[in-house]
Amino acid sequence: MAEMMTLGKALNAGLRKALEDDPKVVIMGEDVGKLGGVFRITDGLQKDFGEDRVMDTPLAESGIVGTAVGLAIRGYRPVCEIQFDGFVFPAYNQIVTQVAKMHYRSLGRLRLPIVIRIPYGGGIGAVEHHSESPEAYFSHTPGLKVVTCSNPSDAYTMIQQAIRSDDPVVFFEPKRRYWEKGEVEFSDFPLHASRVVREGTDATVLAYGPMVKVATDAASAAAEDGRSLEVIDLRTLSPLDLGPVYASVRKTGRCVVVHEAPGNLGLGAEIAARVTEECFYSLEAPVLRVAGYDIPYPAARVEEEYLPDLDRVLDAVDRAFGW
């Protein structure tokens, strides 16, 4: 029976399950133990699994992620928590120079089953460093896998799959959706696969993480105007799984990509290029992007202006039709 829970609680349940299933799984991060994490995602885990499985670390992101490399080489499956998107950068060095390269450098002899969890995106009234969407930096780096969940059920499933993965996974959590509820059930849908979340015939809207809800809301609104939008949740940002996207765009002829991150060289740019290459003769309009602006994430007062919303998505769809 599927249970109703928030996305945050679903992650907590998924982490708990992973700790139960495999004694090599360890969680480490700032205040993840006694306090249960700033967003309470690891709440209660240290109490139940002990301080050797759920480790409070000093305030040292580079140390946390770098230590995970050593642990992983020795057969552990570390799950590192970064408190907020903007705080991953002290660890960026380790992620890009070590985590991403070790498997390749060792000719496949060393496996790096590390998960780096990062709450990301805006919508909670914070500012720069606390609301950013840095997924493109990581997706750009060969050797890393990058995924993001958009709903509680995926959160529960994907975190377990990421931990079971033999490759390092940067796991982006849509922090503004932590408190949203949904039915939760483990599914065997693969980790690195995109998914059609709403079928439609007139245009394809691609989104991931926090923007999936915006896209489906836009689709509902468009339906009232007699326009049928197909919404795809990308789920995996590296590698991208665009097979279902190509199939969809060949059907609809129009494609809009939505993300919070700045548009310049964001995931949307790569996706637009690939869709254009694969679906050129099916396209009725260029692939359009709805993205954050190319500015540092703004103050709480104006984040509604910054974040793509239903209107901006519908606008883009209109533009695709007006081409």
Partner 1 sequence: MTRTPTVAARTAGPGQRLTLLRRMLLIRRFEERCVELYSAARIRGFMHLYIGEEAVATGVMAALTPDDAVVSTYREHGHALARGVSADAVMAEMFGRVDGCSRGRGGSMHLFDAGARFYGGNAIVGGGLPIAVGLALADALTGRHAVTACFFGDGAVAEGEFHECLNLAALWRLPVLFCCENNQYAMGTALDRAQAVTDLAHRAGSYGMTARAVDGMDVEAVVQAARQAVRAVRGGHGPRFLELQTYRFRAHSMYDSDRYRDKAEIARWKLRDPIELLCARMRGDGQLEAADLAGLDAAVTADVDAAVAFAERSPAEPVTDLTRFVHSERRGTR
Ligand X SMILES: Cc1ncc(C[n+]2csc(CCOP(=O)(O)OP(=O)(O)O)c2C)c(N)n1
Single-letter amino acid code for the residue at 309: D
Among 7, 19, 30, 204, binds ligand X (CB under 6 A): 30
Q: Cβ of residue 162: shortest distance to partner 1, in angstroms?
A: 26
Q: Which of 166, 164, 162, 27 is nearest to 110 (CA)?
A: 166
Q: Cβ of residue 98: shortest distance to partner 1, in angstroms?
A: 14
87 binds ligand X (CB under 6 A): yes
Catalytic option among 130, 140, 192, 259: 130
Q: In sequence order, what DSSP letters do the residues of 160-196 get, joined into one string? A: HHHHH-SS-EEEEEEGGGTT-EEEE------TT--EE
* Cβ–Cβ < 8 Å for 138, 85: no
Binding mask 33-72 for ligand X (x = CB under 6 A): --------------------------x-x-----------
Choose the contact partner of 293 out of ligand X, partner 1, none; CB within 5 to 8 A by kind. Answer: partner 1
Residue in the structure block whose two tokens are 């998924």: 14
127 binds partner 1 (CB under 8 A): yes
Among 56, 167, 180, 309, binds partner 1 (CB under 8 A): 56
90 binds ligand X (CB under 6 A): yes
34 binds partner 1 (CB under 8 A): yes
CA dist 139 and 119 (Å) reads 16
Q: Which of 150, 144, 171, 175 is nearest to 160 (CA)?
A: 171
- The helices-and-strands tally (H runs, E runs) of the chain is 12, 14
Among 12, 42, 83, 204, binds ligand X (CB under 6 A): 83
Q: Interaction with partner 1 in 147-176: which residues (CB under 8 A)?
A: none
* Cβ–Cβ < 8 Å for 53, 25: yes
- Number of shown-chain residues binding partner 1 (CB under 8 A): 33
Among 21, 44, 47, 59, binds partner 1 (CB under 8 A): 59
Q: Which of 38, 32, 91 is nearest to 56 (CA)?
A: 32
Give the tokens for residue 123: 């919508």
301 binds partner 1 (CB under 8 A): yes
Binding mask 107-126 for partner 1 (x = CB under 8 A): ------------------xx
Choose the contact partner of 62 out of ligand X, partner 1, none; CB within 5 to 8 A by kind. Answer: partner 1
Residues 6+ apart with CB under 8 A from 177: 7, 150, 151, 209, 210, 213
294 binds partner 1 (CB under 8 A): yes
Identity of the residue, 90 or 263, whose beta carbon is nearer to ligand X in the bound complex: 90
Identity of the residue, 5 or 82, whose beta carbon is nearer to ligand X in the bound complex: 82
CA dihedral 160, 161, 166, 167 (to 10 degrees): -100
Residues 6+ apart with CB under 8 A from 199: 230
299 binds partner 1 (CB under 8 A): yes
Q: Cβ of residue 119: shortest distance to partner 1, in angstroms?
A: 13
Single-letter amino acid code for the residue at 49: F
Query: Is the backbone peptide bond immediately before 239 cis, with ω within 30 degrees of 0?
Result: yes
192 is catalytic: no
Q: Which residues bind partner 1 (CB under 8 A)?
A: 30-31, 34-35, 38, 56, 58-63, 86-87, 89-90, 125-130, 293-296, 298-302, 305-306
Catalytic residue positions, numbered = 130
Q: Which residues bind ligand X (CB under 6 A)?
A: 30, 59, 61, 83, 87, 90
